[in-house]
Chains A and B, each alone.
Chain A
Amino acid sequence: MKPAPFAYADPRTLDEALAVLSEEGEGAKVLAGGQSLLPLLNMRLAAPTTLVDINRVPGLDRIEAGEAGVRVGALVRHAALLRSAEASAVQPLLARATANVAHPAIRNRGTTVGSIAHADPSGEMTAVLALTGGSVTVATPDGSSSVDWADFFLGPLETAVHGPAVVTSAFFPALAPRSGTAFAEVSRRKGDYAVCGTGVVVTLDEDRRVASARVAHISVGLVPEVHDLTDAVAGRPVDTADWAAAGAMAQGLVDPDGDLHASADYRRLLVGALTTRTLASAAAEALERSA
């Protein structure tokens, strides 16, 4: 369990990082928190020629919470995001989801943006980026650009970013008024990758009836998917909405795979159960926030 030989660069600026990535080409890999990358290296499942460690690049460790949403820099650790009251005031899903990311030791090192750039469909933050309609900022030697979540995730561990590039931040739009959120997971052990997870946003209209209900699942599809379940509950008051119907609707929209820890059928069962529960909880919160 020792990695194959690799070169190591620790650039002090973003430009320097991009320059190294340009020089080294396809074999170069960005290192931020290392919580996914280093195990892959140690098991020799990945063998990059160069690691470009961006931990000394200044300015990437900021959480900027504003009216429009929360911008999370590439070096923000999960633990920092989890603790940020400003961020969770603007978008409560951030803390709710981050609390489910692995264990404290991993949250202390691992970065939220790194987890998004890794594009693991078992990652919490990929789903939250999708559910909130977020985007990432990608820096290349030609300049920075914003990429919408729907264009970013291409497949498991695969994103639209190619060539010399650093994902410098992720942007999570603020929670809309009269809205509530919830997040829940079933994992085999506390802190493990979820067997199935669910994040939801419920928005009410001015009469406190359900105006929209959206869900994103974890460990269910190949890339994050957001499903609109509004049709199952639209126009219903919160206390009489049939959340189980919305859960059933979600079950019909997903196509999970089976693995060592859960059959596809079991995952579908969890999609229904977790969607039903989280929608009810998010709707109750939306009602409170509408008061």
Chain B
Amino acid sequence: MTTKLFGEPVRRREDARLIVGAGRYLDDIGADAYAAAFVRSPYAHARVVDIDVSPALDVDGLLAVYTYEDLTGPMAEPLPVLIPHPQLTHARTGYTLVRDVAHHVGEAVVMVVAVDRYVAEDAAALIEVTWEELPVVVGVDAAEAAVHAVHPDVPDNVAARHHQERGDVEAALAASAHTLSFTQYFERSASMPMEGKGVHARWDADDSALRVHSSTQASTSVRAAIAAKLELSLEKVEVIAPDVGGGFGVKIMHPWPEELLVPMAAIKLGHEVKWVEDRREHFISSAHERQQRQEVAVGYDDDGRITALDVLVWHDNGAYTNYGIIVPINTATQLCGPYDVPVYRARVNSVYTNTVLVTPYRGAGRPQGTFVMERTMDRIAQERGLDRLEVRRRNLIQNDQFPYDWGMTFQDGRPLVYDSGNYPGLVDKLEALVDWPGLETRRAEAATRGKLLGAGMAMYVEGTGPGPYEGAHVEVLGSGKVLVSTGLTSQGQGHETVFAQLAASELGVPLEDVEVTTGDTRRFGYAVGTFASRAAVVSGNAVALAAKGVREKALRIAAELLEADPGDLEIDEGLVQVKGTPGASIPLRTVAVLSNPLRYAFDEAARQATQFAGPGDDSKPPIAVGDSPGLEYTDYYSPLRSTFAAGAHAAVVEIDPATWEIDVVQYAVVHDCGNVVNPMIVEGQVQGGVAQGVGGALYERMAYDRDGQLQNASFMDFLMPYASEVPDVDIDHQETPSPLNPLGIKGAGEAGVIPGSAAIASAIEDAVGRRIAAMPISPTELYDLMRSDGEQVPRLPTATGVPA
């Protein structure tokens, strides 16, 4: 590898396009398309008594109205349970249009198609649905109480009882020198990409072919779902994810009802149809995440070392379980983080409520698990009079314990085995980065300004890069251009840059020559999707493998032309050359031309490859047996199991005791995602993740009232932080390569968000001396807490080397 790009902070090549407005998002497609709008349930739980569409029929420009009655075949069946699991004993999913009962506010009941969105909304507003209201279940406590059932055939509201354990936790707790037990709450938030969902479909009646654009994280699976539901042959369906303005998990859920209904309407009407989700629709009909009640019992010894941990989680999965129990599994299996917990039991009861369904949002169950583990560490520190760094150091998995086998099963169905890590190194770096020993001085200085300063920290381990696989196709054209495609999708992460770096590094070509396509089933049909911090790990390795295949073929062809041994050749700056022999070279683009023996010279370059262009070896066919024309290669990377990234965060807050405003004055991150392909992109991912972590800790919540109405379904009242609320992050890297994949990389996409609530809760607790057992927390809630008789907690000086 002579053109070294791996590890370089290469500027994001997609940014120029996206920043100047030259991106092509879903709503940029199909200016002449008909527009869809939906009548959605105004009630959280209600039976449809009657739908009267007649008042809408006189609206000029109305083209079609669809209700459940219009759905046929597989479209009339419930939506799929995407990830079945034996413990998901009571899976329930909705229909593309409500059949008889709506289970949350916002479920689509009627689809309206008109000449434009204005007219479609006018018509939708005239449709009269008569409802019979049913009892509503909101929140995990009400779901557990099960006075009412969300689904009548699931009277206890429990969709799944997920269970993981190592050792006999009850015996170990009984034998522990000390025990603590407590309950915590974690609130809902949501992905909230700037671009909501959107679908555009075009039906070619002559070809019986469907082309769908969707703002999705999983175009290949959306394609398969559309083909299945609309009973089309797979090769007649194309799905393309264009530029996507953020996903953060909500667009890995699929097929959304609209992803099926828009193509259905396009086929029925013989015309392009488009639906672009508006923000209110996104709040009430896309997915949320994160609400849990966590009941924790922990045993530990005199030194603060954990001897047993027992966790019972009540997890709110909303009205449906389309995405299975991935989030509960993540909470259960990632909860222990970097700590050597010898005896552990996690039970997660996933329960139905009459609210928007819950599917992964960046972090996907891990922020909640981290909240359990890290708040437990803080409590043990308080009980034993230990510095919070010290109690963590005593419990960490040590470097000689890898691979560390938990004896449990991870969310990819594979064994939960930490592949590599250096957790003590993270703590050392964090201590230095945030100047942990200097915090008492800062606390005193803040006090002179009338502020309460507090610091907190939290660590996490994140299973990233799960399989089953991704693939990539790399092809060198006769122009010298290198085409790279992978089926996995992009939502702004910088895949075009990273995949180009990997291909250019492997092939030895200038970065500018590489063109990357993602998420287009016309280019690459086999893929899983973008989720679980897996793009760089799984597609990245596939791109590198495919580029390596091209390189080997290029060297083989060039070796014959240069009459050299392939082992003596290298590729640098797009030139194949004999090592140490200047002049003995051939451009890679010429190799590409010659790789495809021709009869017809369609252009000047092609002449070189035609049959009379030069002497050949008459003893061999133009294409060797087992070889193929063209300088291209397809390869796949299928990981044995997930690879485990890790990190440590610290937050320093200042609180105004007159107004209880909370200001995050410093946020420090030490991050280990193995070998780093592009540090600038990794730091961007961390900064963005921290922004969502701060949002989840201090600003965001889904304010459902008892009737299941979302009270803050707009950006005015759902307080996603602005840039002004997000601190600049101090970042330090540690690189512990993964032994599982050729590039030694681990995922980085979700890490930044995971420990936010735990670290900030710890910092607030440190500042005010009151127990923080529920997140998020706002100034008005902090004021209530300070006036209450809530538990006071001892505040220990932050220092290193505190005596045991």
Contacts and interface: CB of A to CB of B under 8 A. Distances in A.
Contact of A2 (B121, B279, B703, B716): B121
Contacts of B719: 188-189, 192, 261
B780 A261 contact: yes
A265 B721 contact: no
Contacts of B784: 263, 265-266
A260 B280 contact: no
A86 to B, nearest CB: 30
A188 B722 CA distance: 10
Contact of B658 (A191, A193, A260, A273): A273
Contacts of B513: none
B664 to A, nearest CB: 13
Contacts of A277: 658
A3 B711 CA distance: 21
A188 B778 contact: yes
Interface in A161-194: 186, 188-193
A270 interface: yes
Q: Chain A at the B interface: mostly helix, strand, loop or mixed?
A: loop
A44 interface: yes
A4 interface: yes
Nearest to B784: A263
A191 B783 contact: no
B721 A189 contact: yes
A269 B780 CA distance: 10
A250 B779 CA distance: 21
B58 to A, nearest CB: 14
A5 interface: yes
Interface in B687-722: 699, 703, 711-712, 714, 716-717, 719, 721-722
A3 B724 CA distance: 31
A260 B659 contact: no
A269 B659 contact: yes
Nearest to A186: B659
A1 interface: yes
A237 B722 CA distance: 42
Given A189-B722, A260-B717, A270-B659, A2 B118 contact: yes
Interface residues of A, number: 26
Interface in B660-678: 660-661
A274 B658 CA distance: 9
B118 A186 contact: no
Interface string B748-785: 00000000000000000000000000000011100110
B125 interface: yes
A262 interface: yes
A191 B278 contact: no
A160 interface: no
Contacts of B721: 189
A260 B712 contact: yes
Nearest to B717: A260
Nearest to B783: A266
B783 A273 contact: no
A1 B703 CA distance: 21
A260 B703 contact: yes
A166 B783 CA distance: 44
A188 B121 contact: no
B117 interface: yes
A2 B724 contact: no
Nearest to B116: A2
Given A261-B778, A263-B780, A266-B783, A189 B699 contact: yes
Contacts of B568: none
A5 B722 CA distance: 33
A191 B724 contact: yes
Given A44-B125, A191-B724, A260-B712, A265 B783 contact: yes
A111 B279 CA distance: 26
B122 interface: yes
Contacts of A266: 660, 779-780, 783-784
Contact of A1 (B125, B279, B658): B279
Nearest to B719: A188
B780 A262 contact: yes
Contact of A190 (B122, B125, B279, B724): B724
A189 B725 contact: yes
Interface in A254-274: 260-263, 265-266, 269-270, 273-274
B480 to A, nearest CB: 45
A85 interface: no
B725 A190 contact: yes
Contacts of A4: 121-122, 125
A253 interface: no
A43 interface: yes
A258 B667 CA distance: 32
Interface in B109-128: 117-118, 121-122, 125
Given A1-B279, A266-B780, A260 B724 contact: no
B280 A43 contact: yes
Contacts of B778: 188, 261
Most chain-A Cβ atoms within 10 A of its Cβ — which of B121, B659, B714?
Answer: B659
A269 B657 CA distance: 11
Most chain-A Cβ atoms within 10 A of its Cβ — which of B278, B660, B780?
Answer: B780
Contacts of A43: 280, 714
B276 to A, nearest CB: 10
Contacts of B125: 4, 44
A270 B719 CA distance: 20
Contacts of A2: 117-118, 121
Contacts of A263: 780, 783-784
Interface in A58-111: none
Contacts of A274: 659
Contacts of A191: 722, 724
A267 to B, nearest CB: 8
A37 to B, nearest CB: 15
A206 B667 CA distance: 51
A266 B661 CA distance: 11
Interface string B714-748: 10110101101100000000000000000000000
A291 B716 CA distance: 45
A188 to B, nearest CB: 5
Nearest to A193: B716
A232 B139 CA distance: 47
Contacts of A3: 118
Contacts of B779: 186, 188, 195, 262, 266
Contact of B122 (A1, A5, A195): A5
A122 B125 CA distance: 30
A273 B656 CA distance: 10
A44 B118 CA distance: 11
A193 B122 CA distance: 31
Interface string A106-120: 000000000000000
Contacts of B714: 43
Interface in B260-298: 278-280
Contacts of B703: 260
Contacts of B658: 273, 277
Contacts of A265: 783-784
Interface in B639-662: 658-661
Nearest to B277: A1
Contacts of A269: 659-660, 783
Nearest to A269: B783
Interface in A110-160: none
23 contacts: A1-B278, A1-B280, A2-B118, A3-B118, A5-B122, A188-B719, A189-B719, A189-B722, A190-B725, A191-B722, A192-B719, A193-B716, A195-B779, A195-B780, A260-B711, A260-B712, A261-B778, A261-B780, A263-B784, A266-B780, A266-B784, A269-B660, A273-B658
The 8 closest A-B pairs by CB, nearest first: A190-B724, A266-B780, A1-B278, A273-B658, A2-B118, A262-B780, A2-B121, A266-B783
Given A5-B122, A269-B659, 17 more contacts: A1-B280, A4-B122, A43-B280, A186-B661, A188-B719, A189-B719, A189-B721, A190-B722, A191-B722, A192-B719, A193-B716, A260-B711, A260-B712, A260-B717, A265-B784, A269-B660, A270-B659
